[in-house]
Structure 1
Amino acid sequence: MDILTLFPIIILIGFMFVMTRSAKKKQQQAAEMRDSMQPGTGVRTIGGMYATVKEVNDETVLLDAGPGVELLFAKNAIGAVLTDDEYNRIVHGIEAELQGDVVPDDASSLTDADDADAGAAADGRTVDLGKTKDAPRKTDGESDAK
């Protein structure tokens, strides 16, 4: 056989080796994540339910999903182990204390609204959007033509 005929087969085998290696690495990381669960840790199941770990066994996890609600799940049904800050933000709506300078996430805090109003008044120009407070609203059956 010629080396050119073996080259595509060698490439295919190498590609398969790389793909199976990365899949094994992901499975190993998921197993380590599941093994790091301890009672009191917040988790998300693969079904999207958030709960707190109450008890960890070899193959199962007992979750506390709310007052008086305890659920038994297989360990491999845990999709993610969450940090305390992330769990509190998602489940309880509690934001963690921000450290350092806080950058606003909207442009409204970057400009002063009074400055914008003063600039428009100084121009003497106004913009008519065609909407008035006193104009009656049209119903679905009415048309513009009268």
Structure 2
Amino acid sequence: MSLVTLLPFIVLIGAMFLMTRSAKKKQQQAANMRNEMQPGSGVRTIGGMYATVKEVSEDTVLLDAGPGVDLLFAKNSIGAVLTDDEYNRIVHGIEHDLKSDSDVVPDDASSLTETDEPADDAAASDDKSVDLGKKDITEESAATPADTAAVEAKTDEEPKKTDGESEAK
């Protein structure tokens, strides 16, 4: 056999080796994270529950999920050990303000649309807003002489034929 026929197999074996190596690294990092858990740490389980570590044993973790709610979990079910700031932000809604003297961004966009001009100047501007909506012109709503002429021209036309009538004789 030549090297050209063996090349795809060599590439496949190399890719499999790299994938298993990275998976083993991730498993080792997760195991180290779980072993470094201490009572008082905030954690997220693989099911998405947030709790505080109460006790850590060899294979299990006792979690405090609320007042009077203690849950026993396997260590492998801990998805992440959170920092105190991250845990308080997620669970209690407490933001740790690192930039206390920075500008506060408003929740709405009102500050983005404000201008330095007073409101009276904006109302008196020569720009007219154009209404692109289609309107039916009726005699009651004819506002200008041109609209009135259009309404009168429409009424002078012959009435439309119905299904029973035809122009052929």
TM-score bracket, normalised by the shorter chain, equals: 0.7 to 0.9
Unaligned runs of 5+ in 2: 134-169
Paired position in structure 1 for 2:123: 121
In 1, Cα distance between equivalents of 2:109 and 2:124: 23
- In the alignment, structure 1 residue 72 sits paired with structure 2 residue 72: yes
1:116 CA drift (Å): 7.5
Question: Is contact 1:120–1:126 with CA below 8 Å preserved after alignment?
Answer: no
Amino acid at match of 1:10: I
Relative to the length of structure 2, the TM-score reads 0.67
In 2, Cα distance between equivalents of 1:112 and 1:28: 54
In 1, Cα distance between equivalents of 2:76 and 2:118: 56
In 2, Cα distance between equivalents of 1:69 and 1:61: 14
Aligned to 1:79, the other structure's residue is in SS state strand
- Alignment RMSD (CA, Å): 2.6
Question: Is contact 1:60–1:73 with CA below 8 Å preserved after alignment?
Answer: yes
**Number of aligned residue pairs:** 129
Unaligned runs of 5+ in 1: 131-146
Q: Which of these two proteins has the greater Rg computed from alpha carbons?
A: 2
Amino acid at match of 2:105: P
Aligned to 1:63, the other structure's residue is in SS state strand
Greater RCO (CA < 8 Å, at least 6 residues apart)? 1
Amino acid at match of 2:124: A
In 2, Cα distance between equivalents of 1:60 and 1:12: 39
Percent of aligned positions that are identical = 72
Per-residue CA distance 1:32-54 (angstroms, 9 max, x = gap): 11112100000010111110000
Paired position in structure 1 for 2:111: 109
In 2, Cα distance between equivalents of 1:117 and 1:127: 20
Relative to the length of structure 1, the TM-score reads 0.76
Per-residue CA distance 1:49-74 (angstroms, 9 max, x = gap): 11000000000000000111100000
Paired position in structure 2 for 1:7: 7
